[in-house]
Structure 1
């Protein structure tokens, strides 16, 4: 199997690369900065918003059986975190969250979906979040992050519908990884019940177990790390 992982310098992305390499798969790891890739992994270092670079790098891979977008943002580089109230909304901060969590996966899909096999099984997955579920929202807040993931879920559904016309055995899914011990979740782990925060390698193992079982019937779904289908 040939796997392509975006966000390979993040907690979940790096763990996915490690797990897939450990299974003996052919792995292409995309990251913005240099990474310590396991032996045999091909690293692609660059800015995925540069579509010319992105298209060129993906074209060089040829066909891919699995593509995972594991990049994402919750707290901005300047320390701006998720809003607790609509009064805290800021146009620039909101735009950046949407840019990373929604626009970037869409651009990657634009160039990566054609890599999936036309007549055999192929999977495109993007890391989303349960808090992006409109139906499941009971607490409000975290406006930009929730909105960015809800929009990502809609794009996944759109891509699934379109891809089904040409790739009958392919699936496009959104994944909820749970609360994983990464830099993204670190500022928000205090007070969580013991065992709720899981190590990245464990999360990667669970996500791959779900992806290994994904079928075309799952295409367009938001799937949790335990395989549960979550509401949009």
Structure 2
């Protein structure tokens, strides 16, 4: 997907922050935003950036937010980090495969770390800005028809509850903010590589543009809702 692109809902000279910017989708978000003539700058955060943000080290989340406080407010914050598998961790096919250490690690990256991102980075978001966190359709309890993937499914379901709950609070105090839970679909990346099969995964650059366009078209009335990349509203 080529051609010009701009985020029209954020105003001129908006500032963006991408957490998890070193991954396939995070990098693609940064590329599109850097090419947007309305964007005044894109800050990328991750384990190897300065300041560093590591979801498995909670103190780094608070410290990164403190160091960036003077750079804000940001009109757009995208959280694109997550954990599905790594050495010693893979999606469980049965409840018999549930392991406490693996589940704790998945929850730390997919739920507990993002909870602290909400705590420390929502204060850095412009009062009419947008914050989007990448969830997953498999985290939908209502849409769960296949079972399996216990840690990943439940960690994303918990993330959705955090987003929904924070959005209710923001509606009272900062009602113009958009806080969104987004399903990116299957994307060609290290996260999905072992599980793509013949499902027609999309390049990260295409998925990132679709998600940015979706964010751009949503309104404060959509805050706290769960959407797929194509605009479909997903059940909790």
Give the aligned partner of residue 213 of structure 1.
Answer: 217
> Distance in 2 between the 1:116 and 1:33 partners?
23
> Distance in 1 between the 2:180 and 2:62 partners?
25
Decide whether the 8 Å contact of 1:28 with 1:44 is kept in 2: no
TM-score, normalised to structure 2's length?
Answer: 0.88
Give the counterpart of 1:65 among 75, 100, 104.
75
SS of alignment partner, residue 65 of structure 1: strand
> Distance in 2 between the 1:18 and 1:12 partners?
10
Give the counterpart of 1:157 among 161, 164, 180.
164
Counterpart mapping for 1:131-146 below 5 A? 131-146=138-153
> Distance in 1 between the 2:125 and 2:192 partners?
31
Give the aligned partner of residue 175 of structure 1.
Answer: 182
Give the aligned partner of residue 113 of structure 1.
Answer: 122
> Distance in 2 between the 1:6 and 1:52 partners?
13
Decide whether the 8 Å contact of 2:52 with 2:64 is kept in 1: no
Decide whether the 8 Å contact of 1:58 with 1:111 is kept in 2: no
Give the counterpart of 2:129 among 107, 111, 122.
122
> Distance in 1 between the 2:202 and 2:61 partners?
34
Deviation at 1:185, TM superposition (A): 0.1
Aligned length in residues: 218
SS of alignment partner, residue 93 of structure 2: coil
Is 1:30 matched with 2:45?
yes
> Distance in 2 between the 1:51 and 1:6 partners?
10
Deviation at 1:79, TM superposition (A): 4.1
Deviation at 1:117, TM superposition (A): 2.4
> Distance in 2 between the 1:51 and 1:209 partners?
28
Question: Which ranges of structure 1 fall in alignment gaps of 5 or more residues?
Answer: 35-42
Cα distance 1:178–1:52, how it changes in 2: closer, same or farther (>3 A)? closer
Query: RMSD in angstroms over aligned alpha carbons?
Result: 1.3
Is 1:6 matched with 2:13?
no
> Distance in 1 between the 2:175 and 2:34 partners?
28
> Distance in 2 between the 1:95 and 1:230 partners?
26
SS of alignment partner, residue 164 of structure 1: helix
TM-score, normalised to structure 1's length?
Answer: 0.90
Decide whether the 8 Å contact of 1:177 with 1:224 is kept in 2: yes
Structure 1 range deviating more: 48-57 or 83-92: 48-57
Decide whether the 8 Å contact of 1:117 with 1:167 is kept in 2: no
Decide whether the 8 Å contact of 1:98 with 1:144 is kept in 2: yes
SS of alignment partner, residue 67 of structure 1: strand
> Distance in 1 between the 2:53 and 2:29 partners?
19
> Distance in 2 between the 1:67 and 1:46 partners?
14
Deviation at 1:10, TM superposition (A): 0.7
